Homo-oligomer: A and B are copies of this chain.
């Protein structure tokens, strides 16, 4: 029998994974794997690109990071709140605000049910220009 609540990820702790987690946490908004890797290298870290991709994928799988696709690129961000939430993102500087939206959750569920759809998930993100841009 499988145990859904058990984290099936026996992850070893390495300075590389810590570096990626830390670097991601220091960023305000969403970053690409490429950009994060470039930043780490600039800061003197010899970490490899493939490792950054893997670390980010793991963080996302563990629920420690959010990710979204923009213009054919995957962007990641350290997760503040642990539960389900959405984002308000500045399309100029990348500044991001995490937002909860009970109304939207309810709406999505209702719309799905209305059309006979089950197991509904949704993608909801708001893009704009923040007060500093």
Q: Which chain A residues in 106-120 approach chain B with CB under 8 Å?
A: 107-108, 111-112, 115-120
Q: Which chain A residues in 44-69 approach chain B with CB under 8 Å?
A: 69
A120, B111: Cβ atoms closer than 8 Å: no
Contacts of A103 in B (CB 8 A): 103, 107
Range for the number of chain A residues in contact with chain B: 20 to 34
Q: A90 at the A/B interface (Cβ < 8 Å)?
A: yes
Q: A70 at the A/B interface (Cβ < 8 Å)?
A: yes
Q: A123 at the A/B interface (Cβ < 8 Å)?
A: yes
A126, B120: Cβ atoms closer than 8 Å: yes
Number of copies: 2
B130, A121: Cβ atoms closer than 8 Å: no
A124, B127: Cβ atoms closer than 8 Å: no
Q: A23 at the A/B interface (Cβ < 8 Å)?
A: no
A101, B111: Cβ atoms closer than 8 Å: yes
B118, A128: Cβ atoms closer than 8 Å: yes
For residue A75, give the distance in angstroms from its CB to the closest CB of chain B.
11
Contact partner of A69 among B69, B97, B128, B129, CB < 8 A?
B69
8 closest residue pairs by CB, A with B: A117-B128, A116-B131, A120-B128, A69-B69, A122-B126, A118-B129, A112-B128, A123-B125
